[in-house]
Amino acid sequence: MRAFMVERYGDSSVRAGEIPDPQLGPDDVLVRIHAAGVNPLDNKISKGEFKAILPYRTPFVLGNDLAGTVAGAGAAVTGFAVGDEVFARPGKDRIGTFAELIAVHQDDLAPKPASLTMEEAASLPLVALTAWQALVERAHLRSGQKVLIHAGSGGVGTIAIQLAKHLGAFVATTASTANTDLVTELGADVVIDYKKQAFETILHDYDVVLDTLGGDTLTTSLRVLKPGGKIISIAGPPDPAFARELGANPFIRLVMRALSSRIRRRARRHRVTYSFLFMKASGNQLRELTPLIDAGTIRPVIDRVLPFESTPQALDYIEKGHTRPGKTVIRVHR
């Protein structure tokens, strides 16, 4: 089958090649990929930024989002049959959606929302699961609470705004002037133009911050939270809780504790909590999201769809930090 592979860490480019079709375990589903979402995570993995916790052996196939049809199933698979339309974020140890085929554990797979095209469905798993795990699982966001979602026009932000509004929260977000109308349409109650306004001087007494940017934005966000508030970051330093969840060795645990010590100390001084989130694959959570998607409560936002052959260009586009809203998607099969 055709696939795009990372041949060595530190190089953000990928190479097209022919590799053997995936081998199926008893709990695996073989999926013929129709479309694959492209994420900043893909470039970070290829550059080796997660090598300490995700040590993929080169060469490996890149890609973390998919929509497609079932082409085969292992002996223990239940609930999926050949021809079913599905979508998924494969488990972190089994990525590889920039390919014609992939073997996915049945627990990570879900039926594709009937209302979506393959391209629309492929744009959602990673960002929708991130939003769900941050706002529902980690923050326990409730009706009437206030949440700040950074980079509201990005892949995670567009979905998180919609989910937060469904949960009944008051939503603030940061965005550029060009994307203000979009994030307002998605449900944002307050939009901070980050090029013209300092969000920390406008927003106060928030219950939750979803940080997608890290760096100074993460630190400054502590100021908008009320005592007892929570800041959940997908871009900040990993914390000891993540190290335990990962089952990391003692050295990696020590490194993660050290990396996050500064932000955790600052959070304590503000009487709030900091946590790092690296989303997990979950077919069950995708099933919980599907009724919201089919009802139009959560809708995908897509920037552009490119052909499979343009996968390197798609990764380069993401790497350069495009300013258009939504996700980039690769069309693998029609």
Structure tokens at 171: 């939503």
CATH code for position 54: 3.90.180.10
Structure tokens at 297: 């409560």
Instruction: For the chain, give the number of residues.
Output: 334
> Count H helices, E strands: the chain?
10, 16
**Is residue 145 in a domain?**
yes
For residues 118 and 135, membership in a common domain is answered with no
pLDDT (tens digit per residue) in 243-253: 888 888 888 88
**Is residue 287 in a domain?**
no
Average pLDDT, stretch 30-44? Answer: 96
**Is residue 82 in a domain?**
yes
For residues 143 and 262, membership in a common domain is answered with yes
For residues 109 and 138, membership in a common domain is answered with no
Residue with tokens 């390197």: 312
pLDDT (tens digit per residue) in 279-293: 999 999 999 999 999
For residues 205 and 139, membership in a common domain is answered with yes
20's CB contacts (< 8 A; 6+ apart) are: 1
Q: Are 68 and 333 in contact (CB under 8 A)?
A: yes
Structure tokens at 276: 């790092």
Structure tokens at 62: 């890149």
For residues 115 and 138, membership in a common domain is answered with no
pLDDT (tens digit per residue) in 164-218: 999 999 999 999 999 999 999 999 999 999 999 999 999 999 999 999 999 999 9
**Is residue 116 in a domain?**
yes
Burial class (CB in 10 A: 0-12, 13-18, 19+), 21: middle
Domain with 71, as residue range(s), is 2-123+301-331
Q: Are 3 and 96 in contact (CB under 8 A)?
A: yes
The pLDDT of residue 12? 64
Tell which phi-psi region holds residue 206, choosing left (phi > 0), alpha (psi between -120 and 50) or beta. beta
Domain total of the chain: 2
CATH code for position 219: 3.40.50.720
Q: What pTM was estimated for this model as a whole?
A: 0.96
**Is residue 183 in a domain?**
yes
Task: Give the domain-ending residue among 238, 260, 276.
Answer: 276
For residues 154 and 92, membership in a common domain is answered with no
156 vs 5: CA distance, rounded Å: 25
3-state secondary structure of 19: coil
**Is residue 294 in a domain?**
no
